A and B are shown apart, each in its own frame.
Chain A
Amino acid sequence: DAGITQSPRHKVTETGTPVTLRCHQTENHRYMYWYRQDPGHGLRLIHYSYGVKDTDKGEVSDGYSVSRSKTEDFLLTLESATSSQTSVYFCATRGGQGAPANDSPLHFGNGTRLTVT
C-alpha cells in the first residue's frame, strides 16, 4: 500500500539487543496494528493502537512494546531480541479518523524481515 512505509525492510541483529521497527502512514488512519507472520501461523496480532498514546496488547505481545506519539507513526520495540522473534513484521492501518467501519479493510505495509542470531 502506497500510504504505509515500514523501516527498515530487513534487519539482522544479535540476541539480547534492542530493536525498533517503524511504521509511517500518510492515510491519517486512527487505528494501527503490528502483526507478525510465521510459517504455519498466518498473521498474529502483537499490539494495536486506537489513537495517539492509546495502545493495547494483541495475542502475542510478550517481549514487545509499542509507542504512538503521532498519528502517522507507530513504533514496535523488542527490548531484548530473542531467536523466537525472528519473523516478518507487518504494520497495518484501518479506517478513517474515527473508529473504523465494520466493513473497512486493513491496509498493509510491505513488511520488515527481522532475523535474530
Chain B
Amino acid sequence: SQQGEEDPQALSIQEGENATMNCSYKTSINNLQWYRQNSGRGLVHLILIRSNEREKHSGRLRVTLDTSKKSSSLLITASRAADTASYFCATDTDTGRRALTFGSGTRLQVQP
C-alpha cells in the first residue's frame, strides 16, 4: 500500500512563480524525504525532514511537516524552467528493511 500521496498530480506554472506540492501519509514516521526525478533518470534526493522538525530550508526549497495531520509540503520558490521534473515524497518508518515508501508524485512543468 502507498504510504504517501501527493497533491496535485500535475502542476503547471510560469518561471518566477512559487510551486507548492503536498504529501499525505498514513503511519508514524522517522523522517520524510523529498526526491526529484528528471525525465528518463533516477530519483535524486532533495531534502529530509525529521519527525521532530516542523520546517526546513535548503536554497530555494522549503519543507514543512505536520505530524498531527500526517502531511508535508514542498515549496520551490522563484521557480525556473530547469525545475521541471517529477517530485516525490518518501517516508521512512521504523522497519528493519530501511526502505522508503514513495508517493505517486507531482509532475511540475515550469513554463519559461
Q: Please determine whether B2 and A42 come into contact, CB atoms closer than 8 angstroms.
A: yes
Binary contact readout B37-80 vs A (1 if CB under 8 angstroms, 0 otherwise): 00011111100101000000000000000000000000000000
Binary contact readout A89-117 vs B (1 if CB under 8 angstroms, 0 otherwise): 01010110001101101111111000000
Q: Please determine whether B33 and A105 come into contact, CB atoms closer than 8 angstroms.
A: yes
One of A12-20, A43-51, A67-75, A76-84 contacting the partner = A43-51
Interface residues of B in 68-112 (CB under 8 A from A): 88, 90, 92, 96-105
Q: A50-B97, A105-B33 are in contact. List 11 more A-B contacts (CB 8 A).
A: A1-B44, A45-B97, A45-B99, A58-B99, A90-B42, A90-B43, A105-B45, A105-B48, A107-B45, A108-B44, A111-B41
CB within 8 Å of B: which residues of A?
1, 4, 31, 33, 35, 40-45, 48, 50, 56, 58-59, 90, 92, 94-95, 99-100, 102-103, 105-111
Q: Please determine whether B103 and A103 come into contact, CB atoms closer than 8 angstroms.
A: no
Name A103's contact: one of B41, B48, B97 (CB within 8 Å).
B48
Q: Please determine whether A45 and B43 come into contact, CB atoms closer than 8 angstroms.
A: no
Q: How many angstroms between the C-alpha atoms of A100 and B98 in the bound complex? A: 7
Residue of B nearest to A106 (CB): B100
Q: Which residues of A contact B50 (CB under 8 A)?
A: 103
CB within 8 Å of A: which residues of B?
1-2, 4, 30-31, 33, 35, 40-45, 48, 50, 88, 90, 92, 96-105
Residue of B nearest to A58 (CB): B99
Q: Which residues of A contact B41 (CB under 8 A)?
A: 110-111
Q: Which residues of A contact B97 (CB under 8 A)?
A: 45, 48, 50, 56, 58
Q: How many angstroms between the C-alpha atoms of A56 and B98 in the bound complex? A: 12
Q: Please determine whether B31 and A110 come into contact, CB atoms closer than 8 angstroms.
A: no
Q: How many angstroms between the C-alpha atoms of A108 and B40 in the bound complex? A: 12
Q: Please determine whether B88 and A33 come into contact, CB atoms closer than 8 angstroms.
A: no
Q: How many angstroms between the C-alpha atoms of A107 and B92 in the bound complex? A: 14
Q: Please determine whether A110 and B4 come into contact, CB atoms closer than 8 angstroms.
A: no
Q: Please determine whether B98 and A42 come into contact, CB atoms closer than 8 angstroms.
A: no
